[in-house]
Amino acid sequence: MSLPTSDDVERAAATIRGVVRATPLLDGSALGAGILIKAELLQHAGSFKARGVTNRLAALTPDERGRGVIGVSAGNHAMALAWGSAREGLDCLLVMFRGASPYKLARTREFGATVEVVDGDPRAAFDRMGEIVAESGRVVIHPFDDPLVVAGQGTVGLEIVEAVSGLDTIVVPTGGGGLVSGIAAAVASTGVEIVAVEPELSAALGEALAAGGPVPVTPVTRAGGLDAPYAGTLAYALCKEHRVRAVTVTDDAIEAAMRRVYADLKLACEPAAAAGIAAVLADPGAYGRTAVVVSGGNVAAKTASAILASP
């Protein structure tokens, strides 16, 4: 499988134009000098995932469309795939694990998808998806390890560098690695450094880069959406090729960053989306002129209020 390139991201941008939103790049100086915020929480279905889904669904053949699609997700990919499938008139099944956010599970069903909830962890959900595919012939729309999905996610980076010059760094919350690797491919010729930010106990990409390839991990984090059981093969290869740097932050730091985003930027992001902000706040000035991707806003009111009410 060839690695997505900036040309693939450009093609994805043309494919998804007019379907997904070109989200704003906001002034984030309330958090520190030189900070810009890429507000993907304002995207359709509440996260950047709509980009990769739209690009992948556009490539389905008539036969594949008739077989229906399937995905596995803790929530944001599920919601985006349900949204995209409804738009395309496709039968859609999502496999989610019991620890996933009830809010995201309910919203996925509201978009019209069928949801199967699996006991166990994310790895169990991936295993169950494989069983269903073997039985049904449904087409897998992978949350992060598909070249068209990765290219679609990379349009976030393309929009950033088209909107502003003179950036030093793009900082990206990272789970399975589809978003950060797509952005790395998109901006490869610009000299902008890409930093992947993961929870310290859910560092699939960092573990892969250290091990020389994807390895299974047991994610432990309160930042649902950054709990991938492994980094994608494509994500690992792209991040290695483009020298993406992986850093970790604590769950407490992520939640503190979410409170700062709410208070100072007036953006209601989900915990996972604040991971990049947490990294920047932990080391002020270390990233230079920085665009931070705030990747989604799908969080239950009860969860958000509990975090926001914490000291």
Give the model's pLDDT for residue 163: 97
The pLDDT tens digits for 73-97 are: 878 999 999 999 999 999 999 999 8
- Average pLDDT of every residue of the chain: 95
Q: Say which of 49, 73, 85, 101 is annotated catalytic.
A: 49
pLDDT score of 1: 65
Domain 6-47+147-309 top-level CATH class: alpha beta
Q: Is beta strand 193-199 parallel, antiparallel or unpaired with respect to 169-173?
A: parallel
Phi, psi for 25 (deg, rounded to 5)? -105, 110
| Average confidence (pLDDT) over 108-136 | 91
d(CA 57, CA 156): 18
For residue 182, what pLDDT is reported?
98
Which residues share a beta bridge with 35?
290
> Which pTM value belongs to this model?
0.95
pLDDT at res. 75: 86
Q: Where in the chain is the domain with CATH 3.40.50.1100?
A: 6-47+147-309, 51-140
Model confidence pLDDT, tens digit, residues 276-290: 999 999 999 899 999
Helix 6-16 / helix 147-163 crossing angle, nearest 10 deg: 90
Note if 38 is an active site residue: no
Contact partners, residue 110, CB within 8 Å, separation at least 6: none
Q: What is the mean pLDDT of residues 47-71?
A: 98
Assigned CATH class of 51-140: alpha beta
Bridging pattern class, strands 25-27 and 35-39:
antiparallel
Percent of the chain with pLDDT over 70: 100
The yes-or-no answer on residue 85 being catalytic is no
